Amino acid sequence: MDDTSQARLDEIVKKLPTDLTENEKAFIKARRDYLKPSQLSDYKSILNQTLKRPVKKKYGKTQKTK
């Protein structure tokens, strides 16, 4: 992981899981492989939930996920 992403991840994991924004949750989910076992445990609820955002469908149509 590059230095900028590592610095951002370090800042995010200092927060409580309930204080994270949707973007921060997505950032953690995308980089779950870089989390320590204790951090995986702390953010388990976030890593197991599906983020709600539009999904691009075939032919340019978008549809929201559940």
The whole-angstrom separation of Cα 21 and Cα 12 is: 10
Q: What domain range is 35 assigned to?
A: 3-64
Q: Would the pTM of this model clear 0.75, i.e. be above it? A: no
What is the sign of the dihedral through the CA atoms of 10, 15, 17 and 19? Answer: negative
- Please tell me the predicted confidence (pLDDT) of residue 21: 93
What are the pLDDT tens digits along the chain (66 aa)?
Answer: 899 999 999 999 999 988 999 999 999 999 999 999 999 888 888 888 654 555 556 665 555 555
The pLDDT of residue 48 is 82
- CA nearest neighbour of 32 among 15, 13, 16, 19: 13
Tally of domains within the chain: 1
Whether 23 contacts 16, CB under 8 Å: no
